[in-house]
Amino acid sequence: MQKAAIERNNEAIAAQLAPVGRETVQDRVYSELRRALIGGLFEPSQVLTIRGLADALVTSTMPVREALGRLITEKALEALPNRSVRVPPITLDRLDDLLRARILIEGEAIALAAARMGPRQIATIETILGEWDEMRALKHKKDVDREVTLNQSFHFEIYRSCGSAVLIPMIESLWLQSGPCIRVAIYAFSEAGEVDTAQYHRRIVTALATQDAQAAREALVADISRPFTFLRHKLQSAAKDQT
Amino acid sequence: MQKAAIERNNEAIAAQLAPVGRETVQDRVYSELRRALIGGLFEPSQVLTIRGLADALVTSTMPVREALGRLITEKALEALPNRSVRVPPITLDRLDDLLRARILIEGEAIALAAARMGPRQIATIETILGEWDEMRALKHKKDVDREVTLNQSFHFEIYRSCGSAVLIPMIESLWLQSGPCIRVAIYAFSEAGEVDTAQYHRRIVTALATQDAQAAREALVADISRPFTFLRHKLQSAAKDQT
DNA sequence: TTTTTTGATATGTGATCACACTTGCTTTGA
DNA sequence: TCAAAGCAAGTGTGATCACATATCAAAAAA
């Protein structure tokens, strides 16, 4: 019987080919909206319509409405009583609430990751740091989108190492919720260009390289608190101006 | 001008009438599936089909598929590569992962709540405790469903007091994920009937009544850890039997 | 007897339609 | 001149259909 030979052949084929996967339209819409949300491409309080998004994404309404529903359950979007959906507005309370949750959960994740990151993972995040420096070097063109992307890659490369399939989706949800807020902060930082984000990230890397969970947590808290406190002051002064 | 009179009349009407609200079919399906999931009515690894659920709930497929999509993003259900959806299976790792996350987040929530719960809230959870005792008194009929519901009410009445619009949905998601697992534990406890859950809950109440956040957190951890460690042992011994 | 093939049924996905509700502007009446 | 009624366009929701894929059992081949 040539069963074994066939089996070997199939295995050889399988070794060559990568699984093609099957991404649905709904998945693509969902990813695209997530990207836009985390990147802060939508403004807080902005109203989104199903047909409008479907036109923009060149699909029918069906995938869009399901993607919107999913984002609403993640609190990345908000369902108004009118049944229209909007990006949640920023309030001081919400800002504090989000920051506290992020410190709690991302802090735990990085503490777990500190004990589990090998030289390979450390090298990966150092590569991301290098790309960041490279980008900053040619400073004429301040590409905020790229900053956001690199920042995201840096953090999630760490979180992925925490080994918790439960915490990571929660962190993603938190980023989704804070995305529309922190965009303005990152943009302002990029404008000012003074205190470099890279410096905060470097502190995180050194802490992780020495497997110092406590130091890593503190460095992370400092990093993610910055845009929030910045926004906080901005909102407070804006409120004072209005009165 | 009789504008003021009309206004008064309208206000009088508004005072009598309650807002009718508009729950969509999708919302009802979603709530029903949540209830079933938290209550452990579905078994881990059980496959759910859109048309099957639609028939069971006597609706069309449309609201069901959107509700399923939302539950999948919450990790309450799992999308298989075949595109079928099932209740996530229990593994030891997942159990530990879930418990760690619950201790982290629910612990934080109850610590926050400890400082914010007034006599009114304390009275409410004591009422729930009373209903529990009442139920246990007539022990011939062990109503596991009611136990699950009361347990849920007790915990979420506390969490609601933490004042965090961000943490509460996360806790709901965690309950959704652990629901299918802990059902078997609760059932086993009810069978054995030895160590009463009420005793753990009473410890929580006394800690909250004295606004002792640390004690409340510890009592809560003891309470939610119990079914998990129970299940852990059960799974381990089952694995040992198989070898 | 065991394995492969094949065909029928079941299932998820996306498109389209009908309906109800909301919204904003125009028109009407005071 | 201004507020209220009315109308039209826009929008979300649910139902149904078409199509591609998956599943599983029966039939055919080894």
Sketch the domain layout of chain A as residue ranges. 3-86, 92-242
Give the minimum alpha-carbon distance from B184 to chain A in angstroms, rounded to a whole number: 21
pLDDT for the residue numbered B192 = 62
CA distance B141 to A184: 59
The answer to whether residue A6 scores a pLDDT higher than 70 is no
The answer to whether the CB atoms of A166 and B75 lie below 8 A apart is: yes
Whether residues A73 and B75 touch (CB distance < 8 A) is answered with no
State, as a whole number of angstroms, the distance between the CA of A40 and the C1' of C23: 28
Among candidates A150, A230, A167, which has minimal Cα distance to A194?
A230
A18: pLDDT strictly greater than 70: no
Say if residue A141's pLDDT is above 60. no
**Between A and B, how many CB-CB pairs are < 8 A?**
65
pLDDT of residue A156: 96
Q: What's the Å distance between residue B189 CA and nucleotide C26 C1'? A: 69
Are B79 and B125 in contact by the 8 Å Cβ rule? The answer is no
Q: CB B70 to CB A65 under 8 A?
A: no
Q: Is the pLDDT of residue A214 over 50?
A: yes
Q: What is the ipTM of this complex?
A: 0.87
Among residues 146-205 of chain A, which lie with CB inside 8 Å of chain B? 164-167, 169-170, 173-174, 177
Report chain A's terminal Cα–Cα distance, integer Å. Answer: 88
Q: Please report, rounded to whole angstroms, the spatial distance between the CA atom of protein residue A193 and the C1' atom of nucleotide C8.
A: 67
Confidence of residue A199 (pLDDT cuts 50, 70, 90): confident
- Interchain contact B91–A (C-beta under 8 A): no
pLDDT at B1: 45
Average pLDDT over residues B120-148: 81
Q: Please say whether the beta carbons of A87 and A78 come within 8 A.
A: yes
- Whether nucleic acid strand D comes within 7 Å of the CB of A105, the answer is no
Closest to B29 (Cα-Cα) out of B1, B68, B3: B68
List the CATH code of the domain at B92-242: 1.20.120.530
3-state SS class at A96: helix
What is the architecture, at CATH level 2, of domain B3-86?
Orthogonal Bundle (1.10)
For B73, what's the count of Cα atoms within 13 Å in the CB-facing half-sphere?
Answer: 26
* pLDDT at residue A107, as a whole number: 97
Q: Using one digit for the tens of pLDDT, what is the confidence trace for B83-127?
A: 899 999 988 999 999 999 999 999 999 999 999 998 899 999 999
List CB contacts of B149: < 8 A, sequence separation 6 or more. Answer: B39
Structure tokens at A180: 């529309």
pLDDT band of residue B81 (cuts 50, 70, 90) is: confident
Q: What is the DSSP string of A200-225?
A: HHHHHHHHHHTT-HHHHHHHHHHHHH
Q: Model confidence at A10, in pLDDT bands (50, 70, 90)?
A: low
